[in-house]
Amino acid sequence: MSEQNKFAKLEYDGKVYTLPVIIGTENEAAIDISKLRDMTGLITLDPGYKNTGSTQSAITFLDGETGILRYRGYDIEELAEHASFMEVACLLLFGDLPTQSQLTRFEKDVAEHSLLHEDMRKFFDALPSTTHPMGVIAAMTSALTSFYPRSLDPYRPPHEVYRTMVRSMAKLPTIAAWAYKASKGHPFNYPDNTVDYCSRFLKMMFAMPTSPYEIDPVLVGALNKLLILHADHEQNCSTSTVRIVGSSLASLYSAIAAAINALGGPLHGGANQEVLVMLRKIKESGVSTKTFIDKVKSGDKSARLMGFGHRVYKNFDPRAKIIKKACDDVLNKLGINDPLLGIAKELEEAALNDDYFVSRKLYPNVDFYSGIIYQAMNIPEEMFTVMFALGRLPGWIAQWKEMLDMKQAIGRPRQVYIGATQRAFVPMDKRVDTK
């Protein structure tokens, strides 16, 4: 990033102010307004941060107009094709693709911390059975701060930071699998540290005392790819949450727990579950895809086309392209013929040829096809967003670490106040109910 002697001029109240322009390594330009209030008394207003850069970052580059997504400079297509999720985690966390010995060391460290403290088992019983697994994993992640209070050390010694990062990577899959087991009333499986990260998770999810789990390379490969595709996405809602919570020097676990809660919303990661619900409803009600699309276009809020549209991608979402192909591959390899895939393809075709979607630049996003793969893997719907969280974890951690390393000030936006101006206190006997 550099300033390259570019400036923007702002004219206000008869005065001209000069503001520096920051140019990123991919030539993205931003007006630096950090001194704007001191200079002019003005702040900027941008609800939803549609046009606001909250930070400079060297982790992920995405260009929504041309459908580019790169982690640390590497195209998502290449990473999804050639790398393992653990390699991508190293890339995001430490800045470069790991050598074999670095990767082995990291995998070993993560495996060593994959157990949960036995006291945590009680929490799984304590939550009501109606708790969504996202609620369970958020609560359990939050609880990690109590088990590892040194994660709160405000001086952040590097070895403690590393250990907290590793523990987060190690324990979330165990927490996620146990949340699933608890929801089923099945016994918990302990992590098997002799197998890789994805196989370990699948074993914890599906092994039963009555039937040991056979690792299926097709499922492991699919999971690996899905986790890579979700691993980071620059300053999205949950990642911005991580950075803002972390900026108060709360522990990494607290920041991740907050991000999990942000991710769970249906407009963010929760959309992958909603897509399946939508496809199933279409199938069960027997309505045609055309009728459904017409309902979406009518502005009926209960009929949004879930898995479509994106704040940043306005051409196509490169992750959706890869997932759509993976979906065909996995279902073929597993010999599954899922009618929901047919409905999804019909919806996509109809939307991509309809002016409502074309004019608003609405394309399938990462969530449109991922649920169909998860379903083929026997992962239940309520766990879809948990899978997204497992994938996004290294991104959240990398962004938290970057925020700490750059000593970012506490996140604290301003506002334009639009409420009542000063008024005198009214005693109780003089108050009138105006509603």
Residue whose token pair is 């309902």? 295
Contact set for ligand CMC, span 234-263 (CB under 6 A): 236
Binding mask of the shown chain, residues 357 to 386, with x at each position contacting ligand CMC by CB under 6 A: ---x-x--xxx-------------------
Catalytic residue among 232, 310, 329, 354: 310
d(CA 191, CA 318): 33
Contact set for ligand CMC, span 33-62 (CB under 6 A): none
Number of chain positions touching ligand CMC (CB under 6 A): 20
Kindly give, in sequence order, each residue whose CB lies less than 8 Å from that of residue 375, ignoring residues fewer than 6 positions away: 276, 338, 340, 381
Contact set for ligand CMC, span 310-349 (CB under 6 A): 310-311
| Distance of closest approach, residue 274 Cβ to ligand CMC, in angstroms | 7
Between 177 and 320, CB nearer to ligand CMC: 320
d(CA 211, CA 91): 36
**Is 159 a catalytic site residue?**
no
Do residues 71 and 88 make contact, with C-beta atoms less than 8 angstroms apart? yes
| Distance of closest approach, residue 379 Cβ to ligand CMC, in angstroms | 18
Amino acid identity of residue 359, one-letter, is S
Q: Any idea what the Cα angle at residue 312 is, between residues 308 and 317, rounded to 5°?
A: 50
* Torsion region of 433: left, alpha or beta (phi above 0 gives left; psi -120 to 50 gives alpha): beta
**Is 310 a catalytic site residue?**
yes
Do residues 333 and 218 make contact, with C-beta atoms less than 8 angstroms apart? yes
Do residues 394 and 95 make contact, with C-beta atoms less than 8 angstroms apart? no
Do residues 324 and 369 make contact, with C-beta atoms less than 8 angstroms apart? yes
d(CA 271, CA 265): 8
Between 302 and 434, CB nearer to ligand CMC: 302
| Distance of closest approach, residue 66 Cβ to ligand CMC, in angstroms | 18
Between 106 and 388, CB nearer to ligand CMC: 388
**Within 309-366, where are the H helices?**
318-334, 339-352, 355-359
The residues facing 7 across adjacent strands are 20
Residue 281 binding ligand CMC, by CB under 6 A: no
| Distance of closest approach, residue 311 Cβ to ligand CMC, in angstroms | 4
Between 309 and 391, CB nearer to ligand CMC: 309
Q: Near ligand CMC by CB under 6 A, which window of 95-103, 162-170, 299-307, 327-335? A: 299-307
Q: Any idea what the Cα angle at residue 413 is, between residues 407 and 415, rounded to 5°?
A: 165
Contact set for ligand CMC, span 178-237 (CB under 6 A): 233, 236
| Distance of closest approach, residue 313 Cβ to ligand CMC, in angstroms | 8
One residue of 86, 219, 255, 271 binding ligand CMC per CB under 6 A: 271
- Site residues, ligand CMC (CB under 6 A): 233, 236, 267-269, 271, 296, 304-311, 360, 362, 365-367
Q: Which are the catalytic amino acids? A: 310, 367
